[in-house]
């Protein structure tokens, strides 16, 4: 093609002026499969009141790690597939530091921010700028079969004792949790680690994952596999654990609160037989929940930031958070919804959930969190399947994390 033809064509591609683009503006985001149909309901309601905008939900793989890689691959490859970025809380520092997000400082004024739970907002902020609007929050909880055990256990050892007494393997195991080598394993491991008084990184920034407390935590966890947890637990993600528990194949389960709504559906064999409580802890230490949760950012690469914002403002409103709650069980991030009569009628435990959420602890906040997590995933998983000893696994993970965060 001669230069004379190419130049006008390039100019034209970058905005020919004149006729507006034909058809609606399409804004796209990637999320997990829409179990419950809440996202489709929200998008239908938005499109009905927003002529000219279409929202394209890409239902991707259930694992957060894989979806993070998909977003990262798109941004690294300079491909503008995603206008909205539906982000897990630990992704925020990396995505912001890489310049993949627009700041939302001017779009969400301070008064509007005050309506959200503080930890979710803190997790949406990087170096003083807001990059995400929280849509749903999360904190790890212990579920128990209230028809099989009289109450929730307080301590880790009590959980094991109660599980042994009530289990009947292989039909019904004592405990199921997220044991696969992926992010869900890290969130569960942290709850055990913290529950034993351990840390990954201390307040002075030193990596302390190879402490005696951490060793006790990982020994406890590795000791579950094949005794009160099925060996297959090392291949479980959230939904595998939820299905096992819902089918009556487990006495206890560690999972996020979304499972509650699904467990109580009329066709659930355990409806009405489920209790939910904070995670157990070691004697003398405190129960801890990992802070999870998701929210929307706007991709730096989108040509449609205003349309993207219109959808964010709509979806994160109280009404739409309720839709996602009732359909998919997701927990709202707006504090006022914890007093909402309709939500409390359906999920009475929400009153006791609020203190757990307010105390939920973040994973290490670092732009290289994905690598920190990968080191924990690899070695904790190796300990669960018996390929590494708990002490060896923690030493190796701690050394890798020291190299990642630059500690000598
Ligand atoms: C849930 C949490 C998220 C966490 C993930 C791990 O989706 O909300 O924060 O990373 O589970 O599997």
Q: What is the pLDDT of residues 139-197, one digit of tens each?
A: 999 999 999 999 999 999 999 999 999 999 999 999 999 999 999 999 999 999 999 99
Separation between Cα atoms, residue 301 and residue 83, nearest integer Å: 7
Ligand 1 centroid, distance to 60 Cα (angstroms): 14
Instruction: Name residues whose C-beta falls within 8 Å of residue 211's C-beta, 6 or more positions apart in sequence.
Output: 198, 199
Sequential DSSP letters for 117-131: -HHHHHTTEETTEE-
The residues pairing with 293 across neighbouring beta strands, listed in sequence order, are 137
Return the top range by mean pLDDT from 6-10, 202-206, 373-377: 373-377
What is the rounded average pLDDT of the residues 92-106? 98
Ligand 1 centroid, distance to 256 Cα (angstroms): 8
Q: What does DSSP say about strands 250-255 and 291-298: parallel, antiparallel, or unpaired?
A: unpaired
Instruction: Name residues whose C-beta falls within 8 Å of residue 137's C-beta, 6 or more positions apart in sequence.
Output: 117, 119, 120, 291, 292, 293, 331, 332, 333, 357, 360
Q: What is the pLDDT of residues 396-406, one digit of tens each?
A: 999 999 999 99
Q: Are 31 and 39 in contact (CB under 8 A)?
A: yes
Q: What is the pLDDT of residues 194-245, one digit of tens each?
A: 999 999 999 999 999 999 999 999 999 999 999 999 999 999 999 999 999 9
Where does the pLDDT of residue 407 fall: very low under 50, low under 70, confident under 90, or very high at 90 and above?
Answer: confident
Mean pLDDT, the chain, whole residue set: 93
Q: What does DSSP say about strands 133-139 and 129-130: parallel, antiparallel, or unpaired?
A: unpaired
Separation between Cα atoms, residue 192 and residue 214, nearest integer Å: 9
User: Which pLDDT belongs to residue 3?
Assistant: 36
Separation between Cα atoms, residue 382 and residue 217, nearest integer Å: 15
Separation between Cα atoms, residue 213 and residue 199, nearest integer Å: 8
Tell me the percentage of the chain whose pLDDT exceeds 70: 95
**Does any ligand 1 atom lie closer than 6 A to the CB of residue 138?**
yes
The residues pairing with 39 across neighbouring beta strands, listed in sequence order, are none
Separation between Cα atoms, residue 218 and residue 213, nearest integer Å: 9
User: Which pLDDT belongs to residue 117?
Assistant: 96
Provide the total of helices (H) and of strands (E) in the chain, helices listed first.
Answer: 17, 12
User: Which pLDDT belongs to residue 367?
Assistant: 94
User: Which pLDDT belongs to residue 360?
Assistant: 96
Q: What is the pLDDT of residues 34-49, one digit of tens each?
A: 989 999 999 999 999 9
Above 90 in pLDDT, residue 82? yes
Instruction: Name residues whose C-beta falls within 8 Å of residue 73's C-beta, 6 or more positions apart in sequence.
Output: none
Please give the helix or strand (H or E) that residue 109 lies within, else none.
none
Residue located nearest, by CA, to atom 1 of ligand 1: 292
Q: Is the dihedral of CA 265, 270, 274, 278 positive or negative?
A: negative
Separation between Cα atoms, residue 348 and residue 295, nearest integer Å: 25
**Does any ligand 1 atom lie closer than 6 A to the CB of residue 257?**
no
**Does any ligand 1 atom lie closer than 6 A to the CB of residue 184?**
yes
Above 60 in pLDDT, residue 8? no
Q: Is the dihedral of CA 249, 250, 256, 257 positive or negative?
A: positive
Separation between Cα atoms, residue 362 and residue 190, nearest integer Å: 10
- Vertex 257 angle, CA 255 and 258, to 5°: 100
What is the rounded average pLDDT of the residues 27-40? 96
What is the rounded average pLDDT of the residues 243-255? 98
**Does any ligand 1 atom lie closer than 6 A to the CB of residue 64?**
yes
User: Which pLDDT belongs to residue 146?
Assistant: 97
What is the rounded average pLDDT of the residues 365-388? 97
Above 70 in pLDDT, residue 4? no
Separation between Cα atoms, residue 65 and residue 370, nearest integer Å: 8
User: Which pLDDT belongs to residue 12?
Assistant: 42
Count of C-beta atoms within a 10 Å radius of residue 346: 15
User: Which pLDDT belongs to residue 9?
Assistant: 39
User: Which pLDDT belongs to residue 408?
Assistant: 54
**Does any ligand 1 atom lie closer than 6 A to the CB of residue 83?**
no
**Does any ligand 1 atom lie closer than 6 A to the CB of residue 88?**
yes
Q: What is the pLDDT of residues 350-366, one digit of tens each?
A: 888 899 999 999 999 99
User: Which pLDDT belongs to residue 11?
Assistant: 39
Could you give the domains of the chain?
A: 25-131+292-358 (3.40.190.10), 140-288+364-405 (3.40.190.10)
Task: List the 141-145 sheet strands across, edge first.
Answer: 173-176, 250-255, 141-145, 274-277
**Does any ligand 1 atom lie closer than 6 A to the CB of residue 183?**
yes
């Amino acid at each position: 093609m001669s230069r004379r033809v190419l130049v006008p064509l390039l100019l034209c591609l970058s905005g020919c002026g004149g006729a507006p683009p034909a058809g609606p503006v399409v804004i796209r985001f990637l999320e997990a499969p829409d179990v419950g149909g809440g996202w489709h309901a929200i998008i239908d309601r938005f499109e009905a009141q927003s002529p000219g905008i279409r929202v394209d939900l890409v239902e991707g793989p259930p694992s957060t790690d894989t979806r993070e890689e998909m977003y990262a691959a798109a941004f690294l490859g300079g491909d503008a597939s995603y206008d909205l970025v539906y982000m897990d809380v630990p992704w925020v520092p990396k995505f912001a530091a890489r310049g993949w997000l627009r700041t939302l400082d001017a779009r969400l004024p301070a008064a509007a921010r005050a309506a959200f739970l503080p930890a979710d907002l803190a997790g949406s902020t990087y170096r003083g700028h807001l990059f995400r609007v929280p849509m749903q929050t999360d904190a790890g909880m212990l579920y128990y079969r209230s028809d099989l055990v009289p109450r929730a256990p307080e301590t880790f050892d009590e959980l094991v004792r109660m599980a042994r007494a009530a289990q009947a393997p292989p039909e019904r195991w004592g405990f199921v949790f997220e044991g696969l080598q992926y992010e869900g394993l890290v969130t569960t491991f942290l709850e055990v680690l913290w529950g034993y008084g351990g840390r990954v990184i201390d307040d002075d920034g030193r990596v302390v994952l190879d402490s005696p407390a951490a060793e006790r935590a990982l020994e406890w966890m590795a000791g579950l596999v094949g005794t009160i947890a099925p060996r297959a637990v090392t291949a479980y993600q959230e939904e595998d654990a939820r299905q096992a528990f819902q089918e009556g194949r487990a006495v206890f389960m560690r999972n996020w609160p979304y499972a509650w709504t699904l467990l109580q559906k009329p066709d659930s064999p355990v409806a009405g037989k489920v209790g939910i409580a904070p995670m157990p802890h070691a004697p003398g230490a405190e129960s801890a929940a990992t802070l999870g949760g998701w929210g929307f950012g706007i991709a730096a690469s989108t040509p449609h930031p205003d349309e993207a914002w219109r959808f964010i403002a709509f979806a994160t409103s109280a009404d739409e958070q309720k839709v996602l709650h009732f359909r998919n069980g997701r927990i709202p991030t707006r504090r006022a919804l914890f007093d909402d009569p309709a939500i409390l009628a359906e999920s009475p435990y929400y009153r006791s959930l609020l203190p757990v959420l307010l105390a939920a602890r973040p994973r290490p906040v670092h732009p290289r969190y994905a690598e920190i997590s990968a080191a924990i995933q690899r070695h904790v998983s190796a300990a669960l399947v018996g390929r590494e000893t708990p002490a060896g696994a923690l030493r190796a993970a701690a050394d890798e994390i020291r190299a990642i965060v630059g500690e000598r």
